[in-house]
Structure 1
Amino acid sequence: MAKLIYHSTCSLDGFTTDAHGDIDFSEPDREVSEFVNDSLRPIRTYLFGRRMYEVMRVWDSAEAVADQPDYIQAYVPIWLSADKIVYTRTLAEPVGPRTQIERRFDAPTIRELKETSAHDLLVGGATLASHALRAGLVDEIQMLVAPVLLGGGLAMFPSDVRQTLELTEERQFDSGIVALNYTVRH
């Protein structure tokens, strides 16, 4: 059975965006980018809400990131090889490659997807991930903690979820970012 992995970057005080919705604080360097690419390469299906999907669409073409360093551009083929399921009521139809639209988050459908998938799945974006966490669908949490305090914004975790986690990996990068991987105990 495939795992559903919640992957995100957050500030030390637990926010994935600042109070204005910006993610500038999480700009990765070469070391972090290569680590993230290696972590995400085996993932074959991404589950996103509309806002996260729109942020990630920059990877739809190599031309959009042609002015970026090679370690940033290296994510393009990883993104293009993955299927994307976007949960939205506002997008009428898929706008990128390998993308399907779902109108609502349905926990039984996600459970079935986990049971039938040969590869692990990723849920991205704090809002959609909160639904998956509440439904008990998340098996692993991969977080990159940036050395910054934002004081507010979009919280990485919903306040109404309590789960026991087991630390399975930790790594500190020269930039001060720390990668923490946890298995969710069901």
Structure 2
Amino acid sequence: MGTLSYTATISLDGFVADEDGDFQWAAPYEDVFAFHVDRMKEVSTEILGRNTYLLMKYWESEPDDGSWSDAEHEFARRWLELERVVVSSTLTPEDLGAKRIRLVRDLSLTQLEQIVEQASGEVEIFGPTTASAAIRAGLVNDFRFFTVPLVTGGGLRALPEGAHLDLHLVEHRIFTNGTVYHRYQPH
């Protein structure tokens, strides 16, 4: 049986994208990226919404210029080994070219619980819209936030409105660019 985690890179004011939908400010610096590559060892399944899947599709094949670093190759290798569940009412199976991807039109909490129960490791739900029902229902075991030292002033919130969480800090780290990693678990 797996566990469910939610990971997000956020601004100091709690947003994953600004008011224009831009999240380029969240691109990880080298040491943050290396940390992501390392933590992927524990992940067996990713659950992604449409927008997050389209963003992460980048890792399915190296750019023609061959510009990936060793760390990027390793991340892509680990990414392609994961079971991936894409939640979308607009994508089709043909849009999901890579192997190990399952399309779900609407993810119910019961389906989510089944995915976690059948997983061999950590199930990471990636994207605040896709994760919102699980967060509100108290199904998330681990919250991992990479807080970038930037204030966006608004945008897409990392946590859903109306969520009430009583968490305790179980791990933290500060990276060279000032990004702070916090890992929380429910009390």
TM-score by length of 1: 0.94
Query: Do the aligned partners of residues 65 and 169 (structure 1) sit closer, same or farther apart at CA in structure 2, a change above 3 Å counting?
Result: farther
Q: Secondary structure at the match of 1:63?
A: coil
5 Å-filtered alignment, 1:52-91, equals 52-63=52-63, 66-91=66-91
**Partner in structure 1 of residue 136 of structure 2:** 134
Q: Secondary structure at the match of 1:74?
A: helix
Cα deviation per residue 1:74-128 (whole Å; 9 max; x = unaligned)? 3101110101101110011133221110011111121122223221100001101
What residue is the counterpart of 2:173 in the other structure?
A: 171
- 1:110-149 aligned at under 5 Å gives the runs 110-149=112-151
Q: Which amino acid aligns with 1:75?
A: F
Write out per-residue CA displacement over residues 48-81 of structure 1, whole angstroms, 9 at most, x where no aligned residue.
1101100010001123683243333331011101
Per-residue displacement from partner, 1:129-178 (whole Å, max 9, x unpaired)? 11211222111101100000000110000111101111000000111000
Q: SS of the counterpart of 2:7?
A: strand
- Structure 1 position 35, deviation (Å): 0.6
Query: 1:2 — aligned with what?
Result: 2
Q: Distance in 2 between matches of 1:158 and 1:28?
A: 23
Whole-angstrom CA distance in 2 between matches of 1:34 and 1:54: 22
Does residue 1:162 correspond to 2:167, yes or no? Answer: no
Change in CA separation of 1:157 and 1:42 when aligned onto 2, cut-off 3 Å: same
| RMSD of aligned Cα (Å) | 1.5
The answer on 1:44 being equivalent to 2:70 is no
Q: Which digits, 9 at most, give the CA deviation of each residue in 1:11-60, with x for residues without a partner?
A: 11110011111111112121111111111222111001101100010001
Q: How many residues align?
A: 185
| 1:150 match | 152
Identity level (%): 30
CA distance in 1, matches of 2:65, 2:124: 22
Question: Following the alignment from structure 1 to structure 2, what is the Cα–Cα distance between the partners of residues 66 and 51?
Answer: 25
Alignment partner of 2:56: what SS?
helix
Partner of 2:112, secondary structure, is helix
CA distance in 2, matches of 1:65, 1:20: 30
Q: Which residue of 1 aligns with 2:99?
A: 97
1:144 partner letter: F
- Report the CA distance between 1:8 and its aligned residue: 1.0
